[in-house]
Structure 1
Amino acid sequence: MFGQRAVQQSMRRLAAQRPAQQTLSRFAAPAAVATNTHYLQYRQAATQTISSEDQSKANEILNRQRLNRPVSPHLSIYRPQITWYGSALNRITASILSGGFYVFGVAYLVAPLLGWHLETAVMAASVAAWPLALKVLVKMSLAFPFTYHSLNGVRHLAWDMGKTLNNKQVQRTGWAVVGLSIVSSAILAFV
Structure 2
Amino acid sequence: MFTSRALQTSARRLAAQRTSIAVSKFAPPVAVATNTHYLQSRPNTSSVEQYKPENARADSLIAKQRRNRPVSPHLSIYRPQITWIPSMFNRLTGIILSGGLYVFGLGYLVAPALGIHMESAVLAASFAAWPLAAKVATKFLIALPFTFHSFNGIRHLIWDFGKQITNKQVQVTGWTVVGLTFASAGYLAAFV
Do 2:82 and 2:174's aligned partners in 1 also have CA atoms closer than 8 Å? Answer: yes
CA distance in 2, matches of 1:52, 1:154: 57
Q: Between Structure 1 and Structure 2, whose CA radius of gyration is higher?
A: 1
What is the aligned partner in structure 2 of residue 50 from structure 1?
48
CA-atom RMSD in angstroms: 2.7
Q: How does 1:60-99 map to 2 (within 5 A)?
A: 60-67=57-64, 71-73=70-72, 74-99=74-99
Do 2:140 and 2:189's aligned partners in 1 also have CA atoms closer than 8 Å? Answer: yes
Unaligned runs of at least 5 residues, structure 1: 1-27, 32-45
Unaligned runs of at least 5 residues, structure 2: 1-21, 26-42
Say which SS state the counterpart of residue 83 (structure 2) adopts.
helix
Q: In structure 1, give the amino acid aligned to 2:54.
A: K
What is the aligned partner in structure 2 of residue 135 from structure 1?
135
Aligned residues: 147
Identity of aligned residues (%): 54
TM-score by length of 1: 0.68
Post-superposition Cα deviations, 1:2-58, rounded to whole Å, max 9, x if no partner, equal xxxxxxxxxxxxxxxxxxxxxxxxxx9xx9xxxxxxxxxxxxxx989739962x433
What is the aligned partner in structure 2 of residue 153 from structure 1?
153
Q: 1:61 to 1:132 in 2, by over 3 A?
A: same
Do 2:143 and 2:188's aligned partners in 1 also have CA atoms closer than 8 Å? Answer: yes
1:186 aligns with 2:183: no
Say which SS state the counterpart of residue 80 (structure 1) adopts.
coil
Shift of 1:66: 4.1
